[in-house]
């Protein structure tokens, strides 16, 4: 499939707006698009969430089943995060196994959850060395309107917050909540012509040379970062993004992701 072609005129238009301090949809540079999160949308999954962030639309399902722990962590559960950019979601996505973009997105979502120790993995142990809970986080992108990154990690956390360990199904007693102890939130910024904008729309994302994702936890500490794209960022730009990302994450967490 060919890449979508973007008219130079359109790039110029968005670029020129930026110089005037404006965005096409009228947002401030640090403003997110309209965000809605609905949970428990898939009752066959142990936890689920549907996220709409502007025109971006995705569903995250959490499946939990028993499995064998890794030999080096015999008393800890396992998290596996997978994200697919299916061809339903965009004219430029192709069928087939995930490519580097999808794998990068999945791994950044995974790192935010893992490194913030959002899930207490020791509580996912059933029999040390033999049997633990395996938590599968599957992100299904339905409509790509830009910034899949943040929508996916918000969806993953929202789905986990409502997920249950299916004890009953495995004859282990009553179902209980997944042991969550932190709420990591990722915030993505792009750089266009020296300016920093949060939550890029699809066109902004295509024009931007580089994006930076910063995932921070409840304490305002950084759990994960990822720079993606070929253009370098200055130290000042990175510091600015980190500050604003932590602040924004707090806002989003308080509004959408209450434990």
Partner 1 sequence: MDKKLVLPGEFISDDVERAGEGTFVDDGKVFSSVFGVASLKNQIKVVPLSGKYIPKSGDLILGIIKEITFSNWIVDIRSPYDGLLHISEYPRRIENTEMSRYLNVGDAIMTLVVDVDVNMKVELTLNDQRLRPVKDGRIVDVTPSKVPRFIGRSGSMIAMLKNETHCNIFIGQNGRIWITGKDRDMDLAVKAIKKIEKETHVSGLTDRITKFLKEIKGENVIEKEPDKEEKLRTEEKTEEEKTEMEKSGGILDELLGDEK
Partner 2 sequence: MSKPEKLIENGIRLDGRRPDELRPIKIKVGVLNRADGSCYFEFGRNKVIAAVYGPREVHPRHQQKSTSAVVRYRYNMASFSVEERKRPGPDRRSIEVSKVSREALEPVIFQEYFPRSAIDIFVEVLQADAGTRTAGINAASIALADAGIPMKSLVSSCAVGKVDDTLVLDLFKDEDNYGQCDMPIAMTPDGNITLIQMDGHLTRDEFTEGLEMAKKGCLAIHELQKAALIEKYNSQLEGEVNDK
Interface ranges with partner 1 (CB under 8 A): 2, 5-11, 13
Site for partner 2 in 62-91 (CB under 8 A): 62-63, 65, 82, 84, 86-91
Q: Which is nearer to partner 2, 141 or 241 (CB)?
A: 141
**240 interface partner picked from partner 1, partner 2, none, CB below 5 to 8 A per type:** none
CA distance 30 to 39: 26
CA distance 180 to 118: 5
Q: Which is nearer to partner 1, 20 or 44 (CB)?
A: 20
Site for partner 2 in 145-204 (CB under 8 A): 145
The answer to whether residue 1 forms part of the interface with partner 2 (CB under 8 A) is yes
Q: Which is nearer to partner 1, 5 or 230 (CB)?
A: 5
Q: What angle is formed at CA 166 by the lines to CA 162 and CA 168, rounded to 5 degrees?
A: 135
Identified binder of partner 2 from the candidate list 95, 128, 231, 251, rule CB under 8 A: 95
CA distance 157 to 224: 14
Q: Which is nearer to partner 1, 13 or 231 (CB)?
A: 13
**44 interface partner picked from partner 2, partner 1, none, CB below 5 to 8 A per type:** partner 2
Q: How many residues does the chain have?
A: 259
CA distance 78 to 98: 21
Tokens coding 188 = 């993505």
Q: Which is nearer to partner 2, 143 or 175 (CB)?
A: 143
**Smallest gap, in angstroms, from Cβ of residue 7 to partner 1?**
5
The answer to whether residue 136 forms part of the interface with partner 2 (CB under 8 A) is yes
Nearest to 66 by CA among 144, 152, 153, 132: 132
Q: What's the gap between Cα 87 and its chain centre?
A: 19
**Helix residue spans in 22-142 (DSSP H):** 100-115
């Amino acid at each position: 499939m060919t890449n979508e072609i973007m008219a130079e005129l359109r790039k110029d238009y968005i670029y020129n707006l930026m110089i005037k301090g404006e965005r096409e949809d009228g947002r401030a540079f640090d403003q997110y698009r309209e965000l809605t999160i609905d949970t428990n949308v898939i009752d066959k999954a142990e936890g689920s969430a549907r996220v709409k962030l502007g025109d971006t639309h995705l569903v995250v399902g959490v499946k939990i089943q028993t499995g064998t722990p890794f030999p080096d962590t015999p008393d800890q559960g396992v998290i596996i995060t997978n994200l697919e950019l299916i061809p339903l979601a965009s004219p430029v996505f192709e069928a087939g196994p995930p490519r580097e973009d999808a794998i990068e997105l999945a791994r950044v979502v995974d790192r935010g959850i893992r490194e913030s120790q959002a899930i207490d993995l020791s509580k996912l142990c059933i029999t040390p060395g033999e049997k633990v809970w395996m938590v599968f986080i599957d992100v299904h992108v339905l409509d790509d309107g830009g910034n899949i990154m943040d929508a996916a990690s918000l969806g993953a956390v929202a789905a986990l917050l409502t997920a249950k360990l299916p004890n009953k199904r495995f004859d282990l007693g009553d179902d209980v909540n997944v042991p969550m102890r932190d709420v990591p939130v990722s915030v993505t910024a792009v750089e266009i012509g020296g300016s920093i904008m949060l939550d890029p729309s699809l066109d902004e994302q295509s024009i931007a040379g580089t994006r930076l994702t910063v995932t921070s936890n409840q304490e305002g500490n950084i759990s994960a970062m990822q720079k993606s794209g070929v253009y370098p960022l200055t130290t000042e730009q990175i510091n600015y993004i980190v500050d604003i990302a932590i602040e924004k994450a707090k806002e989003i967490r308080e509004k959408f992701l209450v434990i």
